[in-house]
Chain A
């Protein structure tokens, strides 16, 4: 990056990715603490739906539901994380378009895609906080015991939702191109329920889908107490491979879509 002309009263220093990361995370933090209503509202809604699922399921399925409650809690925890990761980029782009700030993120020496990705990561950090609160309340109201090895949960859950972040990046690219489609793309997050509950170990190819393999590993971590080093190298390699693969694919779609939007002259138009 080239530096700007010297200021008459101070000498500007070039910002690196460290400064960018700090700025993006700090902005997310400020909005989180200054306007907590959105986060609290999200937590309440997520817990309301879990309550309906849990108490309604108990009335219908009785003991059968109680026997599988650990799996449901882990799946629901991963789903809330996935929804946050997926919608982070496309929702963010829609908001930036409406605020008139999108162009300023396109016109950055860091590049639009890296900035969009970083903003997505910042939202994921926030989602981890809210999803952890949701997890804690779910454990409390159901009286369930889960194995909470933080390191393993953090690594497996993060790698699981990185694949969804890739999907979110692709959806964000499509949102740049067709602004109004963003809300419809959000409906895809209900498809994550299918991916999270997919029988990844019964059908081998399903492991290649986003979330499926990660969900299975997270279940073994939180229900069976597996540690990170207890997974086979193939299982871990697949987890990483799926994460990187979908993220790279999302990056390519995002880059192509934004270039196409610039060609059509619709970048920033709503």
Chain B
């Protein structure tokens, strides 16, 4: 899949909102790409533009060699999407009926993928519920049915918007494992949008981070973590009071503060230069350190850092 120079603006003149700003990227077959961004960053508009749900002002999208805007029917034969979380199938039909219906809608004779459906039902723990109307299932089960119905036609590329929303930890892990299996064994390509950083960090081969309509980072999780050069320091002291916390918050982008019986425990994420500033600030505030330890920064820290820097630099 390739996206070239995609741009979408809503409204005119000074009221215009740039939802997607000259976005280009490619996705290799058989990989999972995470799409991250704060609310309003343009993720949904980008996904809908790629799928032709929103017509962009500029740019092209090719899926499996077909231009989505010029030859949508050919492109749609290779792509499917779970855009609305749990509610993108028919709750009055049974699980298996949904799979058969949406396989047909996506251009595949359902009888020819019966084995695939059986396997999907088995692997997602839905086999026993195959003949139960979706409306009678739990939220987590409904989410799995949504995913199964998206995969029912054997699409080459699938878009998943918050696929683990509402799932318990075990179901979420099962789903992640199944996604990886499909990617590795069937060359499935997944574009996954989620606010659950753990999911993105665990399953994605690559991550795109969006801010204000643009892609501000595009790399593997490991590269993003190392390239960010971030350090997360946890400091515990009885000398830290609300005023010190406020001072820290005004100087550093990422600060979490937990009030203790006496004092606070602070977690500050910053780059190498910021470490010196941190020490100076502690000294200036007469804070005696009771306990200090370093924590490996995670994708969430990198995400917050990158989007904050992007917003500040504009």
Distance in angstroms from B115 CB to nearest chain A CB is 4
Do B105 and A104 touch (CB < 8 A)? yes
Partner of B115, one of A10, A259, A263: A10
Main secondary structure of the interface of A (DSSP, over half): loop
Residue contact A12 to B90, C-beta cutoff 8 Å: no
The verdict on B97 contacting chain A, using a C-beta distance below 8 Å, is yes
Question: In the complex, what residues of A have CB within 8 A of residue B116's CB?
Answer: 7, 9-10, 12
Query: Do A1 and B77 contact each other (CB < 8 Å), given the known contacts A10-B112, A12-B153, A19-B110?
Result: yes
Tell me which residues from 104 to 159 in chain B have a Cβ below 8 Å from any Cβ of chain A.
Answer: 104-116, 119, 133, 153-156
Contact pick for B53, options A4, A7, A99, A103, CB 8 Å: A103
A103–B85 CA distance with the chains assembled, in angstroms: 13
A-B contact count (CB 8 A): 153
User: By the criterion CB–CB under 8 Å, are A11 and B87 in contact?
Assistant: no
Flag A214-229 by CB within 8 Å of B: 1 or 0 each. Answer: 0000000000000000
The answer to whether A12 and B53 touch (CB under 8 A), given A1-B77, A99-B87, A101-B88, is no
Given contacts A19-B104, A34-B92, A100-B88, is CB(A9)–CB(B8) below 8 Å?
Answer: no
- Give the segment of A69-77, A108-116, A203-211, A239-247 that binds chain B: A108-116
Query: How many interface residues does chain B have, given as a range?
Result: 35 or more
Q: Does A68 contact B (CB under 8 A)?
A: no
Main secondary structure of the interface of B (DSSP, over half): mixed
Contact yes or no, A100 B54, CB < 8 A: no
Q: Check if A110 sits within 8 Å of B73, measured CB to CB.
A: yes
Name the residue on A nearest B187 (C-beta). Answer: A5
A105 vs B156: C-alpha distance when bound (angstroms) = 18
Closest to B106 in A: A108
- Considering only residues 165-212 of chain B, those with a C-beta below 8 Å from chain A are 185-187
Give A109 to B73 CA distance when docked, in angstroms. Answer: 4
Most buried by A among B54, B119, B153, B187: B54
- A31 interfacial contact with B, CB 8 Å: yes
Contact B104 A259, beta carbon cutoff 8 Å = no
CB of A106 within 8 A of chain B?
Answer: yes
Contact B156 A4 (CB under 8 A): yes
Interface residue range, chain A: 35 or more
Interface centre among A4, A9, A10, A110 (most CB of B within 10 A): A4
Q: B85 to nearest A CB, angstroms?
A: 8
Distance in Å: Cβ of B114 to nearest Cβ of chain A:
7
**Nearest A residue to B153, CB-CB:** A4
Contact of B38 with A by CB under 8 A:
no
Q: Which of B44-52, B217-225, B293-301 contacts A (4 or more CB under 8 A)?
A: B44-52
A50 to B51, CA, bound (A): 48
Select which of B85, B102, B108 is within 8 A of A12 by beta carbon.
B108
Q: Taking CB as reference atom, which chain A residue is nearest B74?
A: A2
Chain B: minimal CB distance from A110 (Å): 7
* A64 interfacial by beta-carbon distance below 8 Å: no
Smallest Cβ-Cβ distance to A11: which chain B residue = B112
Residues of B within 8 A of A13 (CB): 108-109, 111-112
On chain B, the residues within 8 Å of A20 by CB distance are 104-105
Residues of A within 8 A of B88 (CB): 99-101, 103-104
- A1 shortest CB reach to chain B, Å: 5
Task: Tell me the bound Cα distance from A105 to B53 in angstroms.
Answer: 11
Q: Is A115 in contact with B105, judged by CB distance below 8 angstroms? A: yes
B87, B110, B155: the one contacting A23 at CB < 8 Å is B110
Q: Given the complex of chains A and B, what is the CA–CA distance between A2 and B74 in angstroms?
A: 6
A4 engages B92 (CB within 8 Å)? no
Bound form: Cα–Cα A15–B107 in Å: 5
Tell me if B241 counts as interface (CB < 8 A to partner A): no
Q: How far apart sit A263 and B8, CA to CA, in the bound complex (Å)?
A: 9
Q: Does B80 contact A (CB under 8 A)?
A: yes
Tell me if B81 counts as interface (CB < 8 A to partner A). Answer: yes
Give the distance in Å from the alpha carbon of A3 to the alpha carbon of B116 in the complex: 16
Q: Is the CB of A15 within 8 A of B93?
A: no
A13-B111, A100-B88 are known contacts; what are 15 more A-B pairs with Cβ within 8 Å? A2-B77, A10-B114, A12-B116, A12-B154, A14-B109, A23-B101, A30-B93, A30-B97, A34-B133, A107-B81, A109-B74, A265-B10, A265-B45, A267-B48, A267-B54
A-B contact pairs, 13 of them (CB 8 A): A1-B107, A12-B108, A15-B104, A23-B100, A23-B105, A30-B97, A99-B89, A101-B87, A109-B76, A110-B107, A115-B105, A263-B54, A263-B55
Q: Which 5 A-B pairs have the closest CB atoms?
A: A100-B84, A23-B104, A109-B107, A13-B112, A100-B87
Q: Mark A residues whose CB is within 8 Å of B.
A: 1-5, 7-15, 19-20, 22-23, 27, 30-31, 34-35, 99-101, 103-111, 115, 259, 262-265, 267-268
**Chain B residues engaging chain A, CB cutoff 8 angstroms:** 8, 10, 19, 45, 48, 51-55, 64, 66, 73-74, 76-81, 83-85, 87-93, 97, 100-116, 119, 133, 153-156, 185-187
